[in-house]
Amino acid sequence: MHPTSLTDSTFPYEIKDFNFGRILDENPNFHSVIVLGTLPVPSSLQSSETSSSKEASGPSESVAVARLPAILRIERTAFPPSFTDGLSSGVVASTRLIEHTDIYSWMHGWLERKEDLPDVKINVIFPATEVHIRKYTKQELLMVTETPELYDGVVKPYIEAFPASRTQWVRDVVDGKSEAERILCRTSDFLILPDMKWDPSGPISSLYLLALACGPSIRSLRDLRGGKRGHVGMLEEIRETAYEIVAERWGLGRGNLRMYVHYQPSYYHFHVHIVHASQAGMMGMTVGQAHLLDDIISMLKLSPTVLSELTFTYGLGAQHGLYGGMAAAQAELDVSWKGTR
């Protein structure tokens, strides 16, 4: 998902107005590219957006009045179930032979334009902040070890320093101010809706839902607790509700789902990722970042405070806001470990 204050009916810009700046990242395996550029500020938003831009960048940024940074993530769409039926009715409009040997042939193909068969899916972040740009820029990963002491000394202050505006888009979803028509289920503790990264026109194996906690008190899995007044009941209800939704809507069984929580998360408002078990290779499933919901529930039942006491090891990108503090702390840990050998 990504923040937006605009509805489809007031969509204020066109992709053709995008001015390319540079490539932030590209992934041939996932047929995607992320680019940074600018889009013109809509006249309806110009006064508020440009004034906030001046506050952030200084009064000399006169160009920012007309255009603001934008990030486009462009990816090839998956083939829908109807694609194979169209192979015999001209869905492949033309081909060009690359090579042929014995029984094997390679060729490029061009698809016929069809409204139900888009070529690409485009995600837009506009206006994009420096935080967004750092997040989507290709970067080296450093494996760091976060002890409870490092959480208290480095990570927790970092989280607490985040302004409420950074997760305002989440509050808008929870409060029903945006994406209300997309919500699949709502309770007093959480809601479930399709993640913006999911293209529902693709195969069901690409299913991607998101459960958002209604309250802001749980910022990450470090805040989860067991016991009578803890969060196990809510987590179990998220799990069971997700099973019910996918069974009723898509005929999927319990074994067809994978549910997990990120640490570090992309934003510090508790959420659970709900994806089809057949999805493979997604960056969000990386060992160290993704923690299975079943495992979290099991650990909290064994020890109510275990997640605040564990040492977590995970990859941290060089552009992440925690990188400097955690890299320095990691270097100190490395020195102390070498000294004990």
List, for residues 47-101, the tens digit of each pLDDT value: 544 444 444 444 444 444 479 999 999 998 877 777 777 777 778 888 899 998 8
Tell me if 269 is assigned to some domain: yes
Examine the domain organization and report whether 172 and 312 are in the same domain.
yes
Residue 48 lies in a domain: no
Task: Please report whether residue 54 resides in a domain.
Answer: no
Domain boundary among the residues 134, 152, 187 is at 134
Average pLDDT in the 112-118 region?
A: 78
Same domain? 114 vs 194: no
To the question of whether residue 268 is assigned a binding role by annotation, the answer is yes
**243 and 125, same structural domain?**
no
The answer on 187 and 304 residing in a single domain is: yes
269 is in an annotated binding site: yes
Q: Note the pLDDT tens digit of each residue in 140-159.
A: 999 999 999 999 999 999 99
Residue 279 pLDDT class (50, 70, 90 cuts):
confident
Whether residues 189 and 320 fall in one domain: yes
Parent domain of 114: 15-41+67-134
* Beta strand ranges found along the chain (DSSP E): 19-27, 32-40, 67-76, 92-101, 104-111, 120-125, 141-146, 185-186, 190-194, 208-213, 257-262, 271-276, 290-292, 312-317
Lowest average pLDDT, out of 90-104, 215-229, 261-275, goes to: 90-104
- Residue 11 is assigned to a ligand binding site: no
Give the phi and the psi of residue 23 in degrees, each rounded to 5.
Answer: -85, 125
CB burial of 110-132 (b: ≥16 within 10 Å; e: otherwise) equals eeeeeeebeeebebbbbbbbeeb
Residues 333 and 192 in one domain: yes
- Tell me the mean pLDDT in the region 245-249: 98
Report the run of H or E that residue 297 belongs to, with start and end: helix 293-302
pLDDT at 339: 66
Question: Do residues 230 and 255 both lie within one domain?
Answer: yes
Q: Which residues contact 263 (CB under 8 A, 6 or more apart)?
A: 220, 221, 222, 289, 291, 312, 314
Tell me: do 177 and 285 sit in the same domain: yes
Which amino acid would we find at residue 86?
G
Provide the pLDDT for residue 4: 38
Q: Is 151 annotated as a binding residue?
A: no
Structurally, the chain folds into a number of domains equal to 2
Confidence of residue 340 (pLDDT cuts 50, 70, 90): low
* Backbone torsions φ then ψ of 146, nearest 5 degrees: -100, 105
Buried b (16+ CB within 10 A) or exposed e, 20-43: eeeebeeeeeeebbbbbbbbbbee
| Mean per-residue pLDDT of the chain | 87
- Structural Rg of the chain based on CA atoms: 23
Helices (runs of H) and strands (runs of E) counted in the chain = 9, 14
Hey, which residues does 96 pair with through a beta bridge? 108
Question: Is 179 marked within a binding site?
Answer: yes
The answer to whether residue 270 is domain-embedded is yes
- Choose one of 134, 153, 172: the last residue of a domain: 134
Give 11's pLDDT tier (boundaries 50, 70, 90). low
Is residue 247 included in any domain, yes or no?
yes
Single-letter residue type at 106: W
Lowest mean pLDDT among 8-17, 72-81, 212-221, 288-297: 8-17
pTM above 0.95? no
Q: Is 338 labeled as ligand-binding?
A: no
Give the rounded distance of the alpha carbon of 185 from its chain centre: 20
User: 290 and 314 in one domain?
Assistant: yes
Same domain, yes or no: 274 and 288:
yes
Is residue 30 classed as helix, strand or coil in its secondary structure?
Answer: helix
Give the CATH number, domain containing residue 235. Answer: 3.30.428.10
Q: Which of 30-39, 88-97, 192-201, 269-278 has the highest mean pLDDT?
A: 269-278
How much is the average pLDDT of 310-326? Answer: 95
Q: Which residues does the annotation mark as catalytic? A: 271
- Residue 168 in marked binding region: no
**How would residue 333 be classed by pLDDT, with cut points 50, 70 and 90?**
confident
Residue after which a domain boundary falls, among 118, 134, 150 = 134
Give the closest residue to 119 by CA, choosing from 5, 15, 12: 15
- Answer whether residue 46 shows pLDDT above 80: no
pLDDT level of residue 341 (50, 70, 90 thresholds): low
Residue predicted with more confidence, 6 or 225: 225
Q: Is residue 7 part of a domain?
A: no
User: What's the CATH number where 96 sits?
Assistant: 3.30.200.40
In a domain? residue 145: yes
How many angstroms separate the CA atoms of 254 and 234, rounded?
Answer: 18
pLDDT band at 245, cuts 50/70/90?
A: very high
Residue 316 and residue 183 share a domain: yes
Is residue 207 pLDDT above 60, yes or no? yes
* Rounded Cα gap, residues 107 and 114, in angstroms: 21
Tokens of 252: 């999927």
Q: What angle do CA 207, 212, 213 make, to 5 degrees?
A: 150
Query: Are residues 253 and 247 in contact, defined by beta-carbon separation less than 8 angstroms?
Result: yes
**Coil/strand/helix, residue 157:** helix
Flag whether 231 is marked binding. no
Q: Is 128 helix (H, G, I), strand (E, B) or coil?
A: coil
| Residues 125, 146 share a domain | no
pLDDT at 327: 95
Domain membership of residue 325 (yes or no) is yes
Q: Give percent of the chain above pLDDT 70.
A: 88
